[in-house]
Structure 1
Amino acid sequence: MIVSNIIPLDNKRSKIFIDGEFAFILYRGEIKNFKLCTGEEISSPVFDEICNIVIPKRAKIRAMNLLQKRDYTEYKLREKLKEGFYPEPIIDDTIEYLKSYRYIDDERFAEDYTRYHMESRSRNRIRQDLMQKGIRTDIIDRIIENAYREEKNNPELDICVSLLRKKHYDPDTITYEEKQKLMAFLYRKGFGNEVITKALSLDTSGI
């Protein structure tokens, strides 16, 4: 195996190419310690140490540092690791390691996200948000269904009423055109026809 190129990525790291193909990212100090030079051979023991020890350890540390700042779904964490040029097999191993300790848990993430936002966002908006975060639709639908079933009140209706109150909605004086605009406004927020119709039938001024 020949180090075919060493291309600086930033002022600390470089991309290492082996036999013409990108292999991994190393810091300048590591390149020096492993005595890697363009056009020279890299021994199998050195290559194995980098691929099986150095890079996997760094991927785990990077992932843990990210998770210390906020929660990530599996999909979003994979995206962050890909941005760091970690090879796919190492990303897979890192994800499995994190899942084994429940450092990442899409079901827990979906449940926490749903319960936190159900007082301020529509059910459809929450579902779309979770889908964009890469969570499987079967998990999303089950978590959302359970969360709303356990609620005694109707969070979506409460949100609609609150929004209508802020718009100074009065069912006795509103014109047809104004009502259509309000309905379109609520549709864009992700609320369904049944909830919107019920909210518009209420006297929000007295709620």
Structure 2
Amino acid sequence: MKINRVFYDKKTKEYSIEIDDGNFIKVIEDTLVKCDLRKNKEISEEDLEKILFEDNKYRSINLSLKYLRKLRSEFEMRSYLRDKEIDSDTIDITIEYLKEFNYINDKNYAESFSRDKLYINKYGPEKIKIYLLQKGISKNLISEALNKLDENLIRENLITEGKRKVLSLEDDKKLYEKTIRFLLNKGYSYDMIKSSLEEVGL
């Protein structure tokens, strides 16, 4: 087989490759360059399969890199690529690529996520743990990440959030119950809440 012509589609931002048997294939620029696709180049059926394989791979990698504008877990990335109808073998190759260049790293993700939720959202460890489990992070990595959190800051956050809730409820007859429930929902353990009742103002 021989490539008759190569032309660029501005709408799809893809390259159309016309083969002399009358068929067309569409590839992205990465594939065009990598496979050296040009007019009059001879290609075999095996070459064609390799071209399509490479194109799937590069499309998957490009999608994943766009999705990585914010930190993602491996589970999130796999789910995203499945939703984009990328086949499982190509997803595996993409994940390997992302791990090799440290674009995804569940250990770093767990630690960064935990710090952000502690400092910004003032979540307690239990709520952080639930979120990380939902994002497919292993229990071991979650434990490691939570163990690195500043225990003094966790307690300070609990007291700050507790005082804020108490002030917002003022003379509510169920102030005690509502404050305890609020702090539990924020992810603080009952034992930690109980030991901080006086400082919270209950």
With structure 1 as the length reference, what TM-score do the two structures score? Answer: 0.69
- Structure 2 distance, partners of 1:177, 1:70, is 41
The correspondence of residues 55-204 of structure 1 with structure 2, limited to 5 A, is: 55-67=56-68, 69-119=69-119, 120-145=122-147, 147-148=148-149, 151=150, 154-168=152-166, 177-202=174-199, 204=201
**SS state at 1:117 partner:** helix
Structure 1: any 5+ residue segments left out of the alignment?
Answer: 1-10, 13-26, 38-42
Matched to 1:161, the amino acid is I
Q: How many residues align?
A: 167
Q: Note the alpha carbon deviations across 1:87-108, whole angstroms, 9 max, x for none.
A: 1111101100110111111101
Q: Distance in 1 between matches of 2:60 and 2:172?
A: 60
Distance 2:123 2:75 in 1: 23
The structure-2 alpha-carbon separation of the partners of 1:177 and 1:61, relative to structure 1 and needing over 3 Å to count, comes to closer
Q: 1:99 to 1:178 in 2, by over 3 A?
A: same
Identity %: 21
Point out where structure 2 has 5 or more consecutive residues left out of the alignment.
1-10, 26-44
**CA distance in structure 1 between the aligned counterparts of 2:97 and 2:67, rounded to whole angstroms:** 15
Cα drift, residue 143 of structure 1: 1.6
Give, in angstroms, the shift of residue 203 of structure 1: 5.6
**What is the Cα deviation at residue 157 of structure 1?**
2.1
Query: What letter matches 2:88 in structure 1?
Result: E
Q: TM-score, normalised by structure 2?
A: 0.71
CA distances 1:122-173 after superposition (whole Å, capped 9, x unpaired): 101111111111111111111211x13xx3x52232222112222335xxx9
Structure 1 distance, partners of 2:200, 2:91, is: 55
Structure 1 counterpart SS, 2:133:
helix
What letter matches 2:177 in structure 1? Q
Note if contact 2:162-2:200 (Cα within 8 Å) is conserved in structure 1: no
Aligned counterparts of 1:192 and 1:93: Cα–Cα separation in 2: 41
The alpha-carbon deviation at position 174 of structure 1 amounts to 7.2
Any conservation in 1 of the 2:107–2:141 contact (CA below 8 Å)? yes
Instruction: Give the 5 Å matches for 1:9-28.
Output: none
Aligned residue identity for 1:59 = S
RMSD: 2.8
Q: Is the 8 A contact 1:110 1:143 kept in 2?
A: yes
Name the structure 1 match of 2:37.
Answer: none
